[in-house]
Amino acid sequence: MSTHTYAVRDSATMLRRNLIHMLRYPIALMLVGIPVVLLLLFVYVFGGTLGAGLGGVSGGRAEYANYVLPGILLITVACAAQGTAISVAMDMTEGIIARFRTMAIFRPSVLTGHVLSSLIQTMLSLAVVIGVGVLVGFRPTASPVEWVAAIGVLAMITVAVIWLSVACGLVTKSVEAASNLPMPLILLPFLGSGFVPTDSMPAAVGWFADYQPFTPVMETLRGLLLGTAIGNNAILAVAWCTVITLVSYLWAKKLYNRDPSR
């Protein structure tokens, strides 16, 4: 008998558990305030100047609202990831996890429950941020097909970042440490093409910005939502997401399966 036969059923059960948690204590959803505030800040405070620097036809605040939104979306993903790391770390301190470990269930289901519930919360947060974006001047030109593709790209990077933060939540000994570990992710959109074009940066920073994983994701989103050139960014985005997901999944699984006494 193998517990693998119960992979889907156990994961669905754990998702139900995490959804109840989400309704009663929605950590990831509560963190949606950060990207919303950043969006307002960048559109209404910095937007006029930064937008002028983009050198587009219309220039100014309206153009910058369009330019900055993909970056803000990835900040939303990074903030939600922090919530995931916190809830995983909190869960691991609970006695019920020891109970799960002594039951014949598909082991990674505890983790997939967290991932699926965080994915749902993050997609909701992204919808909120896009909604606020439209209110402050974001004007996407995407066709329905492009919208579906954009949502797909967002889901992919979300899953990748969530698995990474699940591992972060497992590797730390305390909830406080778990909340800090995914923090650098919030900086990645700034050190990429999220807020200003990378060719305006000093050589070394620009080089990092060009080759880090968030840049191709943001460029792909920009292309899908606003019709800019995508080039090979789509392939790079898919490749990055796949690699991060796979490595993080294996790492998280290994961390969860380690003997708690060693």
Residues forming contacts to another protein in the complex (CB under 8 A) are 1-3, 6, 9-10, 13, 16-17, 20-21, 24-25, 94-96, 98-105, 259-262
Of residues 104 and 250, the one with the C-beta less far from another protein: 104
Q: Which is nearer to another protein, 6 or 190 (CB)?
A: 6
Burial degree of 241 (CB within 10 A; 0-12, 13-18, 19+) = buried
CB of 255 to another protein, least distance (A): 16
Residue 110: other Cβ atoms inside 10 A: 23
65 vs 155: CA distance, rounded Å: 22
Shorter beta-carbon distance to another protein: residue 90 or 155: 90
Query: Of 131, 140, 120, which is closest to residue 221 (Cα–Cα)?
Result: 140
**Cα separation, 37 vs 32, whole angstroms:** 9
- Closest distance of CB 118 from another protein, Å: 15
Nearer to another protein (CB atom), residue 139 or residue 258: 258
- The answer to whether 122 and 76 are in contact (CB under 8 A) is yes
Residue 123 CB, nearest approach to another protein (Å): 22
Q: Residue 117 Cβ, how far from another protein at the closest point, in Å?
A: 12
Question: Measured from the CB atom, is 46 or 100 closer to another protein?
Answer: 100
In the complex with another protein, the residue whose CB is nearer, 229 or 261, is 261
Structure tokens given for 48: 């006029």
Residue 96 C-beta: closest distance to another protein, Å? 5
From the CB of 30, what's the least distance to another protein, in Å?
15
For the chain, state the CA radius of gyration: 19
| Per-residue DSSP letter, 217 | H
Q: Which long-range contacts (CB under 8 A, 24 or more apart) does 127-132 make?
A: 128/32, 128/36, 129/32, 129/35, 129/36, 129/39, 129/72, 129/73, 129/76, 130/69, 130/73, 132/36, 132/39, 132/40
